[in-house]
Each structure stands twice: as structure tokens, then as C-alpha cells.
Amino acid sequence: MTTSPQKIFNPTALEKARQRSLRRQARKGVSFLYLRAAEDAASRLEDINRRFSRVVLIGNLDGRDLVKAALREDRQPEKFEYVADVSQLSGDYDLILSLLDLQSDDAIPDTLTHARQHLRADGMMLFAFLGGETLTELRQSLYATDQQILGGATARVFPMVDYSQAAMLLGRTGLALPVVDTDRINVGYSHLSNLIEDLRDLGLTNVLTARDTRPLNRTWLAALHANYAQHFGREDGKVKATLEIIWMTGWAPHESQQKPLKPGSAKMRLSDALGSKETKL
């Protein structure tokens, strides 16, 4: 009898965090980070000389209005749908979009494969998620505080996909013209609690299956604030935080797309093109 692998995220805790995130953003407004991703997605789509006919946004937050508001009239999708989960996709789309949701996914390869199956020929997949450089300062401060107060580290921060891992995952989907790029954001917070509030807005509180469920006492919290301020304080009195958005783009193969030249088909040697002298070893 085989057993299913343990999930990285506790499903109950994850769902509670997501619902709390929706309530907070409905009350306070959408997170600045999600808004940045929505506007960046629109900018990327405007660079493509095409108006997509059937588009779907996947994710916990329905951010279609934010994307549409940043798009020119001639780039507005003819039909723009929304689903909360990739399993709810129906039929074929010529654009599948996901914003800041994949970092909470237990099975990223399966999600990408499933999305790929719903792309029309020459359809585009555009996914943005928080990458491995995100919250590097907080990770280090949490580790130092756990060592100092508890005598050892505990699981507190999401394991996140880095640039090279994203490239590998995208390469496995079978999409044509794959591209991975990153957007790194350096933010200054007047207090560490403001960073924690932003993480709650995005549903990024600790929902790991292996998390330590003991309540945090004042001694631990004071040590965390002290460690963060000591190592990552700025001259203006704020503390710094790094946020990284990784973008993955790929197209369902189609005969109209550019094809790489076959090896040996070049009509000019590289040394001739560069005007340099070729040296034989």
C-alpha cells in the first residue's frame, strides 16, 4: 500500500489564511504587491501585438479589474474569466494568467501541466509568483531568533522556487519560446510589524504542515525585532525587505512561431560576423 507524500502546506490553515487575506484586502484595498503584478502583467500583454479572445485568471484573488484597468482599449480581452483553482479550468484559452498564487501550491509541476493542457495552439501562459529571494532578511532573522531563544530552527517561511528552478519547471511543460525573468523590489518599513501586516494581506502567514504551533511569547518577539533591526536596519531608521516576483512565460507550440536554426545551417562563421581572427586549438 502506497502513501501520499506529506503536503508542504496544511490545507486547513492555508484555506483560513486565504479567506482572511480576501477579507483584509476587501476592507483595506488590494496589496501593493498584487497591484504591481497586475500592472506588470498588463504592460507585458501590451507589448504583444495581439488581442486575446478568451483569457482566464487563476488565483485566490479575482484581480481582473486591476489588469483590465491597466490595459489599453485595443488590448482588452474579448472574454476575461476567473477561476480560483487550476482544476476549475474548462475548455481552451489563448491566455492563462496567474498572479502571486503559485508560491502556495503543493504541486507546481502538476499545476503547470494542467494549465498547459487548456492552452489553444499559439496560446500563452503567463504566471507570476514570489521567488526564492523573497524575505531573505526575515528568514535570516527568524533563524537567528529561533537559535537564540529556542536553541534550534523551526519551519516558519514558505520554501520558494528560485530562478533556476523556475526555468527547469517551465522547460518541462513543453511550451515553446519559454522565458523566465525576475522583478526584485526593495521595500523600507518603518516597523517590522508593517511587513507582517503586508504578509497577512497576501495570505502568506505560516501555514506549513511542519510549523511549530506553540504560541510566540514576548521574549521571542522582542528578540526577532532586535535581530531584524540590528542586521537589516537602514540609515533612515526603517528596516529593509526584499521581495522578488518571478515571471514565467511560454506559448503552446504552433507552426507560425519562430523556429531555431538547425545546427550547421549558419551561412557565416561567428568569427567573420564579429570581425575577429579565428584561432585553432
CB-CB contact of 243 with 134 (8 Å) = yes
Domain residues for the domain of 162 are 11-141+158-216+236-274
In a domain, 167, yes or no: yes
d(CA 17, CA 200): 8
d(CA 74, CA 51): 7
61-65-67-70 Cα dihedral, nearest 10 degrees = -150
d(CA 83, CA 103): 17
d(CA 60, CA 41): 17
In a domain, 18, yes or no: yes
Query: Helices (DSSP H) in the chain: which residue ranges?
Result: 11-28, 32-46, 64-69, 108-116, 136-149, 163-171, 192-201, 218-232, 270-274
In a domain, 4, yes or no: no
Q: What is the pLDDT along the chain (281 residues), one digit of tens a residue?
A: 444 556 889 999 999 999 999 999 999 999 999 999 999 999 999 999 899 999 999 999 999 999 999 999 999 999 999 999 999 999 999 999 999 999 999 899 999 999 999 999 999 999 999 999 999 999 999 999 999 998 888 888 888 899 999 999 999 999 999 999 999 999 999 999 999 999 999 999 888 888 888 888 999 999 999 999 999 999 999 999 999 999 999 999 867 766 655 555 556 665 565 555 554 44
In a domain, 150, yes or no: no
Q: What is the pLDDT of residue 2?
A: 46
Tell me the CATH number at 85: 3.40.50.150
In a domain, 66, yes or no: yes
CB-CB contact of 151 with 220 (8 Å) = no
In a domain, 204, yes or no: yes
Q: Tell me if residue 187 falls in helix, strand or coil.
A: strand
Secondary structure of 231-263 in HEC code, one letter for each residue? HHECCCCCEEEEEEEEEEEEECCCCCCCCCCCC
Q: What is the pLDDT of residue 1?
A: 43
Residue 56: its H or E element: strand 54-58
Residues sharing a CB contact under 8 Å with residue 206, sequence separation 6 or more, in sequence order:
155, 156, 157
pTM: 0.86
Q: How many structural domains is the chain composed of?
A: 1
d(CA 171, CA 27): 39
In a domain, 121, yes or no: yes
Q: What is the pLDDT of residue 267?
A: 61
Q: What is the pLDDT of residue 270?
A: 52
- At 146, list the grid cell: 529561533
Beta pairing class for 176-189 and 93-99? unpaired
Q: What is the pLDDT of residue 86?
A: 95
In a domain, 5, yes or no: no
